[in-house]
Amino acid sequence: MEKAIDSSKPKASHGVEDDLSNEADELLLTLPREKNFDGTYLYQFNGVWYRPNFLYGMISTRRHFQARNSDIIVSTLPKSGTTWLKALTYAIVHRSRCAFEHSPLLSTNPHELVPFFEVSYYLNKNDIPSFEHLYTPRIFGTHIPYSMLPDSIVNSNFRIVYICRNPLDQFISHWHFLLKLAHNKESETLSLEESFEKVCNGVQNAGPFWEDVLGYWKASLDNSHKILFLKYEDLKEDTHSYVKKLAEFLGCPFSNVEEKERVI
């Protein structure tokens, strides 16, 4: 049976996040848990495995986030081409606002320009965040599965770009990444073999892998105008065609002049 999340909007922001933090802490005590590659724990909520901070941020996002029809979300499993897709999306959408030689991407990490809303905005905040400082269209990143996205996103014309990657490559990249982060920590990391066994059993951050991929795949079949499903390997093999396709989906296609000038 799925655990319910109250997605109703609070009447006031004062004390809301403190209450939610206590609620999340109590929730963790009731959830199944398994060790992650880096020795920390993942918790299973409604069939999905989360780090505690991502679980808190997901619940807070579902409760508070209000989508606009012009919004864009870049959704991925970790280590599936997230940074690359964020950079491409940002560059495409903002190319008319900023010349390439002055692009913020030259000096700022794409994760800062396209932040994960469940971590950057809805994690450990004392107030419900304001997005007035963001340009329109607003661009966000997320690792939240399609089934757990806020209703305001699913019921709007919010554009979602999802990218998947060969599961073996995604696993190896994720394993190396987490072990680097754990290098100076005291937690006991898992071997490659132990970690692979975890993944085969569906235990990984934002996993199981196939449930996440199929959730967005099936949604893209029903809502192709709202959800673009990409494969990392296709984007790598034919970047030109898929960047063009991405721009068309985002509502800012390249002009004939831009194509002649090799902007893509």
Residues 141 and 86 sit within 8 Å (Cβ to Cβ): yes
Rounded to whole angstroms, how far apart are CA atoms 242 and 249?
A: 10
Question: Which residues, 6+ apart, have CB-to-CB distance to 200 below 8 Å?
Answer: none
Helices 192-200 and 167-181: crossing angle, nearest 10°? 130
Rounded to whole angstroms, how far apart are CA atoms 207 and 209?
A: 5
Rounded to whole angstroms, how far apart are CA atoms 61 and 229?
A: 23
Hunting for tokens 């305001």 — which residue is that?
Answer: 152
Q: C-alpha angle 84/85/91, rounded to 5°?
A: 90
Query: Residues 133, 143, 174, 240: which is the catalytic one?
Result: 143
Helices 167-181 and 209-222: crossing angle, nearest 10°? 130
Residues 146 and 62 sit within 8 Å (Cβ to Cβ): no
Look up residue 6 and give its DSSP letter. Answer: -
Q: Is 143 a catalytic residue?
A: yes
Distances (CA, A) of 176 to 38, 77, 180, 209: 9, 15, 6, 17
Cα separation of the two ends of the chain: 48
The residues assigned a catalytic role are 143
